[in-house]
């Protein structure tokens, strides 16, 4: 993305308040648009247009008074330094919290959000039109849609579909995201599946620089509790439950044995013992480092047996269109990248991927199940005492090392048993030599079923870009040729594709305060306030519906005032409003004093006063 800095530049700020930390992302785009049939050029000016602070914002729920100084201040001050002072008042700022905050109670969420709003409004002049819209907890679907939009924008698939032809008229990429607490998927099904599952899709509506609408049908879903850290927590709970059930069984001869204090954990490296952090009942984890058993133990965490409203299903009871891996190529970020790019697995996912769409990306490369699983197994089986002393683990935190075996297993289970990614890739599954994997990836386009990346052309892939693309698109005036089309069909934003638009499930690109109340009778999409966005482009719908009522109220008011003024005053007012040349004909006099004798306005006959 280009660096765009000039007087004719607009800026935007999005703070990604995640479970492990908050990141401020700063973007810019030209304030004036060309006639090109491409989306607005949203860019970043450099690596310094980003800053991260730890820990996650949700950790301040018990000491919210510390939130401003230790967490928010570094982020806001950094944004102030990057964006020209004269642009602050017109630069929108958003803080969107994700999975970590979703785990808190509504009361704890509100304390943090309110304090955030107070601080930003007091300590900056950035554009914050409504705290409820700009500072909030977003759901996983919204996060996934933003991620899908950011990915495909950076890949060029939205502006140049002919260069990303995957077959069957398909040209976009699927987005897989896994954080510490949740996991998301977003993809455009093939044409057949899209038609069959239209009600399950979201519409994403953008606008080119020339004002032409663009629309995409996207399936998106989220799984709270399926992020790497939360999945590991659930896994440990499962081991403890099994141990408790075993120790309480009367048929178990070893039920009272002291050996029951040790829980064998196949997902921890061989020989690992968690003596310093005993589990419930004083039990100790002891690793056996067996990937096959680890995959088997973690598989139930996918909850594949939960009821599903319709077929086909993915996992956790989530219905989804069937994924056509002939045309659906997925890119994984966050934990997919961080786990696979570990130097302990680095020769499986080679650094400096050279696929043509990802050229220049720092990371990525072909994913091959057979090779990756072998590397994970080798690490899991290594003795823990050797792992801690080895050169290749010297600078890796112990807490990361002890869960790496689990994370490798979890990522594979989610990919293959959860989403159904084939275990054979476009590269031959028999390819075991790393050099062959790299060479094969370098000589072909991106046709793999799955790839993990962190950056594209040196720019970090972040869902926050998706929010700014929507915002910038919403600033483009609609082309005159679309002026007669219902505004609900051309508004920039996203919403359910089934026509039954739900207020809290809708998001718009640009948030502006318009109307102080909601009209529930209107059809259409909704903005972050819960207002119908049919009003957002022209505000005509509500005006047209309310105008007759306003006119009727005005007429009644005038009539009542006219009656209450009294007969003489009414005649005098009418006399004043009547043109002079008609006064004698109507009133029988040309002076106000002549009214005192009384004149019938219709017959000119004298009337008693």
- Residue 27: CATH number of its domain: 3.30.420.40
| 383-395 pLDDT, tens digit each | 999 998 888 887 7
* Cα separation, 343 vs 511, whole angstroms: 43
pLDDT of res. 355: 37
Could you say which of 138, 168, 194 is where a domain stops?
138
Domain membership of residue 63 (yes or no) is yes
Which residues, at least 6 apart from 241, have a Cβ–Cβ distance to it below 8 Å? none
Interstrand relation of 459-460 and 182-187 (parallel, antiparallel or unpaired): unpaired
pLDDT, average across residues 123-152: 95
pLDDT of res. 235: 97
pLDDT, average across residues 89-95: 97
Which of 521, 319, 524, 355 is closest to 452 using CA atoms? Answer: 355
Do 124 and 252 sit in the same domain of this protein?
A: no
Q: Is 181 annotated as a binding residue?
A: yes
pLDDT, average across residues 25-48: 90
Do 239 and 383 sit in the same domain of this protein?
A: yes
Interstrand relation of 174-178 and 330-334 (parallel, antiparallel or unpaired): parallel
Cβ(355)–Cβ(451) below 8 Å = yes
Domain membership of residue 16 (yes or no) is yes
Of residues 254 and 297, more confidence is placed in: 297
Could you say which of 138, 171, 197 is where a domain stops?
138
pLDDT of res. 571: 67
| 155-209 pLDDT, tens digit each | 999 998 888 888 888 999 999 999 988 999 999 999 999 999 999 999 999 999 9
Do 128 and 245 sit in the same domain of this protein?
A: no
Mean pLDDT of all residues belonging to the chain: 79
Q: Is 429 annotated as a binding residue?
A: no
* Cα separation, 393 vs 414, whole angstroms: 26
pLDDT of res. 523: 36
* Most confident segment among 388-392, 404-408, 514-518: 404-408
Q: Is 180 annotated as a binding residue?
A: yes
Domain membership of residue 480 (yes or no) is no
Residue % of the chain over a pLDDT of 90: 52
Would residue 107 show up in a list of annotated catalytic residues for this protein?
no
| 256-269 pLDDT, tens digit each | 344 458 899 999 99
pLDDT, average across residues 468-494: 88
Domain membership of residue 168 (yes or no) is no
* Cα separation, 108 vs 101, whole angstroms: 9
Residue % of the chain over a pLDDT of 70: 72
| 66-86 pLDDT, tens digit each | 999 999 999 999 999 999 999
Do 293 and 406 sit in the same domain of this protein?
A: yes
Domain count, the chain: 3
List 90, 107, 141, 143, catalytic entry:
143
DSSP 379: H
pLDDT, average across residues 374-380: 93
For residue 449, give the CATH number of its domain: 3.30.420.150
Q: Give the Cβ contact number of residue 49 at 10 Å.
A: 20
Please give the distance of CA 391 from its chain centroid, rounded to a whole number: 39
Q: Is 251 annotated as a binding residue?
A: no
pLDDT of res. 606: 38
Do 124 and 233 sit in the same domain of this protein?
A: no
Do 584 and 450 sit in the same domain of this protein?
A: no
pLDDT of res. 319: 95
Cβ(95)–Cβ(71) below 8 Å = no
Q: At residue 350, does pLDDT exceed 50?
A: no
Of residues 190 and 282, more confidence is placed in: 190
Domain membership of residue 416 (yes or no) is yes
Do 448 and 576 sit in the same domain of this protein?
A: no
Domain membership of residue 284 (yes or no) is yes
Domain membership of residue 196 (yes or no) is no
Could you say which of 410, 435, 460 is where a domain stops?
460
- The helix or strand, by DSSP H or E, that contains position 494, with its residue range, turns out to be strand 493-496
| 355-368 pLDDT, tens digit each | 333 433 333 456 78
Do 124 and 265 sit in the same domain of this protein?
A: no
pLDDT band at 594 (very low <50, low <70, confident <90, very high): low
Q: Provide the residue range defining the domain that includes 272.
A: 228-460
* Cα separation, 527 vs 509, whole angstroms: 9
Do 277 and 422 sit in the same domain of this protein?
A: yes
Which of 319, 17, 329 is closest to 143 using CA atoms? Answer: 17
Q: At residue 255, does pLDDT exceed 50?
A: no
| 106-125 pLDDT, tens digit each | 999 999 999 999 999 999 99
Do 455 and 588 sit in the same domain of this protein?
A: no
* Cα separation, 556 vs 62, whole angstroms: 57
Q: At residue 568, does pLDDT exceed 80?
A: no
Q: Is 428 annotated as a binding residue?
A: no
| Token pair for 426 | 């476009």
Q: At residue 380, does pLDDT exceed 50?
A: yes
Interstrand relation of 213-224 and 182-187 (parallel, antiparallel or unpaired): antiparallel
pLDDT band at 45 (very low <50, low <70, confident <90, very high): confident
- What does the chain come to in residues? 609
* Cα separation, 83 vs 11, whole angstroms: 7
Do 126 and 14 sit in the same domain of this protein?
A: yes
Domain membership of residue 289 (yes or no) is yes
Name the phi and psi angles at 453, rounded to 5.
-145, 165
Do 319 and 443 sit in the same domain of this protein?
A: yes
Sheet order of strands, 50-53 included: 50-53, 22-30, 9-17, 93-97, 135-137
Of residues 393 and 555, more confidence is placed in: 393
């Amino acid at each position: 993305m280009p660096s765009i800095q000039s007087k004719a530049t607009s800026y935007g700020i999005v703070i990604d308040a995640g479970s492990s930390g908050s990141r401020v992302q700063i973007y810019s785009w030209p304030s004036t648009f060309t006639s090109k049939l491409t989306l607005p050029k949203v860019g970043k000016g450099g690596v310094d247009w980003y800053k991260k602070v730890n820990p996650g914002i949700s950790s301040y729920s018990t000491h919210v008074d510390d939130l401003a100084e230790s967490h928010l201040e570094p982020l806001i001050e950094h944004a102030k330094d990057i964006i020209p002072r004269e642009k602050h008042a017109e630069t929108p700022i958003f803080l969107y919290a994700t999975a970590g905050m979703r785990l808190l109670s509504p009361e704890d969420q509100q304390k943090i959000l309110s304090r955030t709003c107070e601080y930003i409004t007091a300590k900056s002049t950035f554009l914050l039109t409504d705290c409820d819209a700009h500072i909030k907890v977003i759901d996983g679907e919204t996060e996934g849609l933003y991620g899908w939009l950011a990915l495909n924008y950076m890949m060029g698939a939205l502006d140049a579909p002919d260069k990303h032809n995957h077959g069957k008229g398909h040209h976009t990429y699927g987005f897989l995201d896994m954080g510490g607490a949740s996991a998301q998927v977003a993809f455009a099904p093939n044409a057949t599946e899209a038609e069959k599952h239209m009600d399950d899709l979201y519409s994403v509506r953008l606008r080119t620089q020339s004002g032409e609408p663009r629309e995409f049908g996207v399936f998106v879903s989220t799984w709270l509790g399926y992020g790497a850290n939360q999945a590991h927590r659930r896994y440990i709970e499962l081991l403890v439950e099994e141990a408790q059930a075993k120790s309480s069984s009367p048929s178990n001869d070893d039920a009272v044995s002291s050996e029951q204090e040790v829980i064998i954990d196949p997902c921890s490296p061989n020989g690992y013992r968690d003596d310093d952090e005993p589990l419930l009942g004083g039990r100790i984890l002891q690793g056996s480092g067996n990937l096959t058993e680890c995959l088997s133990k973690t598989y139930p965490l996918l909850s594949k047996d939960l009821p599903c409203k319709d077929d086909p299903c993915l996992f956790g009871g989530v219905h989804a269109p069937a994924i056509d891996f002939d045309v659906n190529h997925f890119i994984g970020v966050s934990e997919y990248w961080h786990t696979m790019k570990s130097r302990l697995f680095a020769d499986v996912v080679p650094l400096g991927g050279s696929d043509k769409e990802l050229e220049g990306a720092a990371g990525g490369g072909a994913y091959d199940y057979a090779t990756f699983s072998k590397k994970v197994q080798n690490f899991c089986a290594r003795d823990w005492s050797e792992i801690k002393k080895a050169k290749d683990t010297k600078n890796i935190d112990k807490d990361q090392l002890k869960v790496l075996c689990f994370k490798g297993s979890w990522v594979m289970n989610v990919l293959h048993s959860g989403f159904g990614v084939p275990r054979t890739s476009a590269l031959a599954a028999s390819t075991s030599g790393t050099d062959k994997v790299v060479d094969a990836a370098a000589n072909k386009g991106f046709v793999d079923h799955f790839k993990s990346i962190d950056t594209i052309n040196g720019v970090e892939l972040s869902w926050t870009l998706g929010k700014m693309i929507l915002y910038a698109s919403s600033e483009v005036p609609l082309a005159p040729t679309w002026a007669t089309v219902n505004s609900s069909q051309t508004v920039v934003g996203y919403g359910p594709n089934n026509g039954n638009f739900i207020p809290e499930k809708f998001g718009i690109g640009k948030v502006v305060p318009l109307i102080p109340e909601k009209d529930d009778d209107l059809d259409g999409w909704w903005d972050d306030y819960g207002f119908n966005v049919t009003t957002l482009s022209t505000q005509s719908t509500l005006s047209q519906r309310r105008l007759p009522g306003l006119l009727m109220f005005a007429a009644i008011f005038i009539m009542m005032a006219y009656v209450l003024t009294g007969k003489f005053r009414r005649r005098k007012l009418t006399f004043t409003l009547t043109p002079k040349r008609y006064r004698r004909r109507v009133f029988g006099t040309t002076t106000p004093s002549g009214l005192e004798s009384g004149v019938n306005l219709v017959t000119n006959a004298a009337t008693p006063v």
